Amino acid sequence: MNWRRHTDYRVYLVTDRELCLGRPLEDIVLAAVRGGAGAVQLREKHASSREFLELARALVSRIQPLGIPLIINDRADIALASGAAGLHVGQSDLPPEDARRLMGPDAIIGLSVETMEELKEAEAYDIDYVGLSPIFATPTKTDTHTPWGLEGLRLARRTSPLKLVAIGGIHRQNAAAVVEAGAHSLAVVSEICSAENPEEATRKLLAAFEGSGRRA
């Protein structure tokens, strides 16, 4: 399947098992998919390679047959071995051009950007989106630059042709404002992973996107 052509990025779940309140990550992911999440990124900073791969394979088998891509954070080896649909890299990870070469022409490749300079440089790469990080300050990721804020997001949208995945401090109360400022996608971690009802939390985020009148 050519995931690059058929992915709905409007609500993009980025996982964090530590925020799942003791619940199995697979249950959270499936609930989010039922609620309308169109993409899932598996982010595992502390798991062993074997554990990461087993989790990736389990999620690939459950969500990709439903048309929802699993995107692996950082680890091209895990993405390839699990049959995941894509790979997300940061500025200090595998260079985007090497990620594309390894993953192939049909895979999703995403790149985190934290400054306007990085956003401009990203235009030279064969990628599918940039993760604009962080939009707002967030406790789930502290090693970041100054938040973009809504004005920074508006500037990014005016100046860049790339698909903008907004992440960092996004929740249902500010989701519509983020979309209206120019985001093509709402990427969230704790808003879904820590929600009492992850399916309903996802639905509310999607409703905020749809209520803005914009399309991804």
The position carrying tokens 């990085």 is 118
CA distance 38 to 129: 14
How would residue 116 be classed by pLDDT, with cut points 50, 70 and 90? very high
Q: Point out the catalytic residue in the list 43, 75, 203, 204.
A: 43
Kindly report, residue by residue over 45-70, the tens digit of the pLDDT: 999 999 999 999 999 999 999 999 99
| Mean pLDDT score of the chain | 95
CATH number, domain containing residue 17? 3.20.20.70
Does residue 70 belong to any structural domain of this protein?
yes
| 112 noted as active-site residue | yes
For residue 102, what pLDDT is reported? 98
With 0-12 / 13-18 / 19 or more C-beta atoms within 10 angstroms meaning exposed / middle / buried, residue 59 is buried
For residue 142, what pLDDT is reported? 59
Q: Is the pLDDT of residue 1 over 90?
A: no
Q: Is the pLDDT of residue 15 over 70?
A: yes
For residue 9, what pLDDT is reported? 97
Does residue 16 belong to any structural domain of this protein?
yes
| Alpha helix ranges (H) inside the chain | 3-6, 25-35, 49-63, 76-82, 96-103, 116-122, 149-159, 175-180, 190-193, 198-211
How would residue 141 be classed by pLDDT, with cut points 50, 70 and 90? low
Domain holding 101, by residue range, is: 3-211
First to last CA, the chain: 20
Residue 105 in tokens: 């022409």
Q: Point out the catalytic residue in the list 10, 75, 82, 112.
A: 112
The total domain count for the chain is 1
Q: Point out the catalytic residue in the list 34, 57, 120, 141.
A: 141
| 141 noted as active-site residue | yes
For residue 140, what pLDDT is reported? 59
CA distance 55 to 34: 19
| 48 noted as active-site residue | no
Q: Is the pLDDT of residue 11 over 70?
A: yes
Does residue 216 belong to any structural domain of this protein?
no
